[in-house]
Amino acid sequence: MVGYDVPQLLDTYQRGLELIFDHYCEDDEGLDLDSFTQLLTDCNIVPDPSLPPPRDGHRGRCQLGAVPPTSVNKIFRSGSGGKGDLNYDDFVECLERCSLMGFSDDTNTGESLDPPEALLRLLRSIDRSGVYEDAGGQGRLLRPEDAGSDLDGEEEEDYEDSYPAPRQ
């Protein structure tokens, strides 16, 4: 169980999410569909069609992502409200939808996760993708206590070494 509710979780990581949002915006208008799709692909939220599908024992790069690519347009349209672009608040709402659509089941147990846990799993996917650093962030997006070790076998101690020290 996550010690957050969804608004607390989004507030905690707002600065990092804003940095990522700004990095993918083509202009001051907001995030268009192509940029939103690229962001989701880069963050391993949507599978990258240029990579092979995952298979047992495969060690190279492969498609990752829990949200079907066919859902991206619908998520974008509902978030933008017909405006054509997403502002930051719309973007966050779309991330929440993505978390409920693709990250709400525990892949190990098959049990349903509550919304904060699903959102945290989505944020872990963003964190592990390296997009935060590509956008100019320092260290990791998530704090060590939120990073967990449930997705790719990375131990929490190793993760802490790559997370910046708290500001004094």
pLDDT digits over 39-64, tens only?
Answer: 999 998 887 777 666 565 555 454 45
Residue 57 lies in a domain: no
Residue 77 lies in a domain: yes
Residue 34 lies in a domain: yes
Q: Which residue segment(s) compose the domain that 67 sits in? A: 6-50+63-158
Instruction: Specify the number of domains making up the chain.
Output: 1
Residue 98 lies in a domain: yes
Residue 151 lies in a domain: yes
> What is the pLDDT, as a whole number, of residue 102?
86
Q: Fill in the DSSP letter of residue 71.
A: G
Q: How many CA atoms, within 13 angstroms, populate the side-chain half-sphere of residue 68?
A: 4
Residue 167 lies in a domain: no
Residue 164 lies in a domain: no
Q: Which residue has the higher pLDDT, 117 or 165?
A: 117
User: What single-letter amino acid sits at 63?
Assistant: Q
> What is the pLDDT, as a whole number, of residue 70?
84
Per-residue pLDDT tens for 93-108?
Answer: 999 999 988 888 877 7
**How large is the average pLDDT for residues 64-68?**
72
What is the helix (H) or strand (E) element at residue 72, kind and residue range? helix 72-80
How many helices and strands, by DSSP H and E, does the chain display?
Answer: 9, 0
Residue 163 lies in a domain: no
